[in-house]
């Protein structure tokens, strides 16, 4: 953790070391070094290290001081440690110390943590959680941004509450707190009548007062009046643009553009065709990437390789993961360059065009060789507030997921959603009634979806019918405690009994995934930390995920429309994001509350509606 007093003492020492009046701890000499400020290479350079910082950088042999340890890597190229401008570490589903073991050999030495996920589970402990691994010796620098969406909307509850005072205290608690995580509830920003309006502007005010950065989330915002309003509100960035045209409109109206890999090839091509010469207002953002996907593709290094393959000069691509995000997040005293005062982090490349990483150094020490992490992972005894986060008030039975019909009815009209439902209104279907209960309709691709409140301890469940998702095979269900952004438990199933069985399995493991077939649990994956992460290696977690996928392949899953891409069909892991309540969503299902007893609410207007009628 960085505080002002210790920072001053450290820099007093660095000043003396730079002048040669105090000894250094180590010198790292490299064949070439990239200066990210000027985008130029210098050959035969030395990096003089004192503690975990750089005291001096210049031509090999130019430093006037003394040092007993000199490491020579004259066949390698040095660039700064790679940074993440916007990432949810929770989406790797690894605790921070194990995240470090996964991403640091892939070049990532610092991360701006977008703490929507953990903050929604244990909001008051946001700073404590993200500082713990570093305090135990992890070399990954985490710059937390407490979640603006705690709760995500005025119609959700549980897991804590963050407003002006909480944000003020986080920013005062450490120089590593970079600002406010992505403001997603755009209707609450512009509409004074929205229930979250005052809370959100309080957090923005506290961030402005500390000269922090207010990150934005402008999904679906493409018209110029709204882009202008978004920027005028002080929301500094967007990572939700999908096309070059949208990027251009947002860049030219003052937003810092954070480019994600899924649209990178087309956007880079389009921006190059437009003649963009200055890329300083662009950074690459991983956002969400699981440990399994990182093992397959890479971390920040994957983003850089993809940018180079898309036609961007390697030096510009490197700027987009070093100095550009550091400038945007106002972190240049610590990261973004191989320069005095910064953390002694360097990525040593053996091949620039293919972005092949030979070694990674962090805090003045070598931490990886190839893909191998060569330093110990600290053992952390996470406290109860991080481990025991599932409080449903007990276990569940099939009856808890039943939807009752009105007496004497043979059919009922049902409100129905489908994954990623952005329409202004919900769908409606006529569904059969048997034994007084409204039934699923496999012929119409209709199954049941539920949200279980895991914070209040009230055994509270909202349930409704969903289209084009979930198991078609009888007596099957899938449940998870990963449910962006509130992270209650969601469950989709072909029978009420199977749904109860899956939810009960999650309660027992403390969170994660549970898959039920023939009313029997056939696979679980534990996320025992906050119901979002697991304290183990990426390889061990991936092994459990592969078992889950293998069992999932034995079930027939619904999907629609039939022209959907392959990733849309089959095992519905995407449902972890289908519970989002931020713009551009309209109707959503949330945990029951006094405001929305059945959980169906329009987050843009506050309107509620019956599930069946």
**pLDDT tens readout for residues 465-483:** 999 889 999 999 999 999 9
Q: What is the pLDDT of residue 582?
A: 86
Tokens of 202: 């309080």
pLDDT at 90 over 60: yes
Tokens of 590: 């949330």
Going by C-alpha positions, the residue among 262, 420, 111, 259 that lies closest to residue 250 is: 259
Using H for helix, E for strand and C for coil, what is the string for 108-143?
EEEEEEEEHHHHHHCHHHHHHHHHHHHHCCCCCEEE
551-584 pLDDT tens trace: 999 999 987 655 555 445 568 888 999 999 887 8
Are β-strands 26-35 and 40-50 bridged in parallel, bridged antiparallel, or unpaired? antiparallel
d(CA 300, CA 105): 10
Tokens of 52: 């975990």
182-196 pLDDT tens trace: 999 999 999 999 999
Q: What is the pLDDT of residue 584?
A: 83
Tokens of 480: 């998870």
Residues 6+ apart with CB under 8 A from 175: 2, 3, 4, 7
Q: How many Å separate Cα 238 from the centre of its chain?
A: 14
Q: What is the DSSP letter of 307?
A: H
d(CA 509, CA 524): 8
Please give the angle made by the CA atoms of 310, 312 and 314, to the nearest 5 degrees. Answer: 120
What is the arithmetic mean of pLDDT over 434-447? Answer: 95
Number of H helices and E strands in the chain, helices first, is: 18, 27
552, 513 Cβ separation under 8 angstroms: no
Going by C-alpha positions, the residue among 136, 129, 124, 127 that lies closest to residue 176 is: 127
d(CA 156, CA 150): 9
d(CA 489, CA 392): 9
How does residue 346 score in pLDDT terms, banded at 50, 70 and 90? very high
Residues 6+ apart with CB under 8 A from 60: 29, 44, 45, 46
* Domain with residues 79-380, CATH architecture: Alpha-Beta Barrel (3.20)
| Average confidence score pLDDT of the chain | 95
d(CA 31, CA 513): 48
pLDDT at 85 over 80: yes
Residue 291, CB-side half-sphere exposure with 13 Å CA sphere = 27
265-316 pLDDT tens trace: 999 999 999 999 999 999 999 999 999 999 999 999 999 999 999 999 999 9
Strands (E), 14-107: 26-35, 40-50, 53-59, 70-80, 82-87
pLDDT at 1 over 70: no
243-258 as b/e: b if 16+ CB within 10 A = ebebbbbbbeeebbbb
> Residue written as tokens 């662009």?
282
What is the arithmetic mean of pLDDT over 115-144? Answer: 96
How does residue 529 score in pLDDT terms, banded at 50, 70 and 90? very high
Are β-strands 26-35 and 70-80 bridged in parallel, bridged antiparallel, or unpaired? parallel
Q: What is the DSSP letter of 462?
A: E
Residue 432, CB-side half-sphere exposure with 13 Å CA sphere = 10
d(CA 182, CA 444): 37
What is the arithmetic mean of pLDDT over 45-72? Answer: 97
Torsion 429-435-440-443 (CA) sign: negative
> Residue written as tokens 């843009």?
604
Are β-strands 70-80 and 141-146 bridged in parallel, bridged antiparallel, or unpaired? unpaired
> Residue written as tokens 């910082």?
53
Going by C-alpha positions, the residue among 382, 353, 482, 310 that lies closest to residue 132 is: 382
Residue 593, CB-side half-sphere exposure with 13 Å CA sphere = 16
Q: What is the pLDDT of residue 566?
A: 47
How does residue 89 score in pLDDT terms, banded at 50, 70 and 90? very high
How does residue 429 score in pLDDT terms, banded at 50, 70 and 90? very high
What is the arithmetic mean of pLDDT over 49-71? Answer: 97
Q: What is the pLDDT of residue 560?
A: 66
Tokens of 7: 């920072």
113 bridge partner residues: 87, 144
Please give the angle made by the CA atoms of 337, 338 and 344, to the nearest 5 degrees. Answer: 115
CATH 3.20.20.140 residue window(s) in the chain: 79-380
589-605 as b/e: b if 16+ CB within 10 A = bbbbbeebebbbbbbbe
10-56 pLDDT tens trace: 999 999 999 999 999 999 999 999 999 999 999 999 999 999 999 99
Are β-strands 237-238 and 213-216 bridged in parallel, bridged antiparallel, or unpaired? unpaired
d(CA 562, CA 253): 39
What is the arithmetic mean of pLDDT over 139-150? Answer: 96
432, 527 Cβ separation under 8 angstroms: no
What is the arithmetic mean of pLDDT over 458-468? Answer: 96
pLDDT at 530 over 50: yes
pLDDT at 547 over 90: yes
356-367 as b/e: b if 16+ CB within 10 A = ebbbbbbbbbbb
């Amino acid at each position: 953790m960085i505080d002002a007093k210790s920072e001053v003492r450290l820099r007093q020492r660095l000043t003396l070391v730079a002048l040669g009046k105090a000894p250094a701890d180590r010198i790292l000499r490299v064949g070439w070094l990239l200066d990210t400020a000027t985008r130029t290479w210098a050959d035969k350079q030395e990096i003089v290290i004192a503690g975990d910082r750089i005291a001096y950088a210049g031509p090999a042999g130019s430093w006037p001081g003394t040092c007993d340890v000199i490491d020579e890597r004259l066949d390698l190229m040095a660039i700064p440690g790679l940074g993440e401008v916007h990432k949810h570490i929770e989406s790797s589903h690894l605790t921070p110390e194990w995240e470090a073991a996964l991403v640091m050999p892939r070049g990532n030495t610092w991360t701006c943590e977008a703490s929507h996920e953990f903050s929604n589970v244990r909001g008051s402990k946001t700073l404590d959680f993200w500082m713990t691994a570093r305090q135990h010796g992890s070399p990954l620098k985490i710059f937390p941004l407490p979640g603006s969406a705690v709760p995500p909307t005025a119609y959700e509850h549980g897991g804590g509450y963050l407003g002006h005072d909480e944000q003020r205290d986080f920013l005062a608690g450490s120089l590593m707190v970079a600002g406010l995580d992505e403001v997603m509830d755009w209707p609450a920003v512009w509409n004074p009548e929205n229930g979250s309006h005052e809370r959100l502007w309080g957090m923005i005010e506290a961030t402005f007062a500390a000269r922090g950065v207010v990150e934005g989330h402008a999904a679906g915002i493409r018209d110029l009046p709204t882009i202008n309003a978004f920027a005028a509100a002080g929301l500094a960035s967007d990572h939700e643009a999908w096309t070059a045209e949208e990027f251009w409109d947002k860049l030219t109206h003052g937003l810092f553009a954070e480019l994600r890999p899924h649209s990178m090839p087309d956007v880079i091509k389009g921006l190059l065709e437009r003649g963009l010469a200055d890329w300083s207002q662009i950074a690459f953002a991983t956002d969400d990437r699981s440990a399994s996907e990182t093992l397959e593709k890479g971390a920040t290094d994957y983003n850089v390789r993809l940018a180079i393959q898309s036609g961007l000069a390697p030096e510009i691509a490197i700027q987009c993961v070093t100095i550009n995000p550091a400038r945007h997040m106002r972190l240049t005293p610590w990261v973004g360059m191989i320069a005095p005062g910064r953390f002694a982090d360097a990525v040593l490349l053996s091949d620039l065009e293919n972005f092949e990483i030979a070694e990674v150094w962090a805090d003045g020490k070598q931490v990886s060789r190839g893909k191998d992490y060569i330093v110990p992972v600290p053992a952390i005894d996470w406290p109860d507030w991080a481990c025991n986060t599932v409080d449903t008030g007990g276990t569940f039975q099939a009856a808890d997921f039943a939807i009752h019909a009105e007496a004497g009815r043979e059919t009922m009209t049902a409100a129905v959603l489908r994954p990623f439902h952005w329409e202004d209104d919900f769908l409606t279907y006529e569904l059969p009634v048997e034994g007084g209960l409204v039934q699923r309709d496999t012929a119409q691709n209709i199954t049941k979806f539920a949200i279980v409140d895991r914070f209040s301890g009230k055994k509270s469940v909202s349930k409704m019918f969903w289209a084009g998702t979930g198991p078609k095979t009888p007596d099957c269900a899938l449940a998870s405690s990963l449910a962006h952004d509130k992270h209650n438990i969601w469950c989709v199933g072909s029978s009420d009994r199977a749904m109860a069985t899956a939810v009960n399995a999650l309660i027992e493991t403390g969170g994660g995934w549970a898959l039920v077939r023939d009313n029997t649990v056939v696979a679980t994956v534990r996320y025992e930390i906050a119901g979002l992460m697991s304290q183990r290696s990426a390889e061990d977690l991936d092994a459990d995920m592969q078992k889950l996928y293998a069992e999932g392949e034995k079930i027939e899953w619904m999907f629609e429309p039939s022209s959907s891409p392959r990733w849309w069909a089959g095992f519905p892991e995407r449902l972890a994001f289908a519970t989002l309540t931020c713009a551009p969503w309209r109707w959503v299902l949330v945990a029951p509350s006094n405001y929305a007893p059945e959980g169906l609410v329009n987050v843009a207007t506050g309107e509620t509606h019956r599930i069946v009628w």
